[in-house]
Amino acid sequence: MKADLATSAGRAAVEQRLDEDASITMLVNNAGMAATGTLTGVEPDRLEAMVALNVIAVMRLAAAAARAFAAHNRGTIINIASVLALAPELFNGVYSGTKAFVLNLSLSMQQELAACGVRVQAVLPGATRTEIWERSGTDVSHLPAEMLMNVDELVDAALAGLDAGENMTIPSLPDHADFEAYTKARFALGPNLSKSRAAPRYRVLESAAQ
Beta-bridge partners for 149: 128
pLDDT at 89: 86
- Contact between residue 157 and residue 121 where contact means Cβ atoms under 8 Å apart: no
79-135 pLDDT, tens digit per residue, is 999 999 999 888 889 999 999 999 999 999 999 999 999 999 999 998 887 766 666
Give the range among 12-16, 98-102, 134-138 with minimum mean pLDDT.
134-138
Q: What is the CATH number of the domain that holds 60?
A: 3.40.50.720
Q: Is 120 a domain residue?
A: yes
The tens digit of pLDDT for each residue in 148-178 reads 889 999 999 999 999 999 999 999 999 999 9
> Under a CB-based contact definition with an 8 Å cutoff, are residues 120 and 110 in contact?
yes
Give a yes or no: residue 2 inside a domain: no
Domain around 68: 8-209
74 domain-assigned:
yes
Does residue 79 sit within a domain? Answer: yes
Indicate the angle between helix axes 93-113 and 44-51, nearest 10 degrees.
20
Contact 78, 32 (CB under 8 A): no
pLDDT at 77 over 70: yes
* Whole-number percent of the chain with pLDDT over 70: 91
DSSP assignments along 88-143, one per residue: GGGS-HHHHHHHHHHHHHHHHHHHHHGGGT-EEEEE---SB-STHHHHHT--GGGS
Where are the alpha helices (H) located in the chain, listed in sequence order?
A: 8-20, 44-51, 58-71, 93-113, 132-136, 151-163, 176-188, 204-209
User: Is 114 a member of any domain?
Assistant: yes
The total of other beta-carbon atoms located within 10 Å of residue 120's CB is 27
Q: What is the distance between the alpha carbons of residues 103 and 97, in angstroms, rounded to a whole number?
A: 10
| 3 is a domain residue | no
- Domains contained in the chain, number: 1
Q: Which 8-state DSSP code applies to residue 149?
A: B
- In angstroms, the CA 163 to CA 19 distance is 26
Residue 96 counted as domain residue: yes
Residue 138: inside a domain: yes
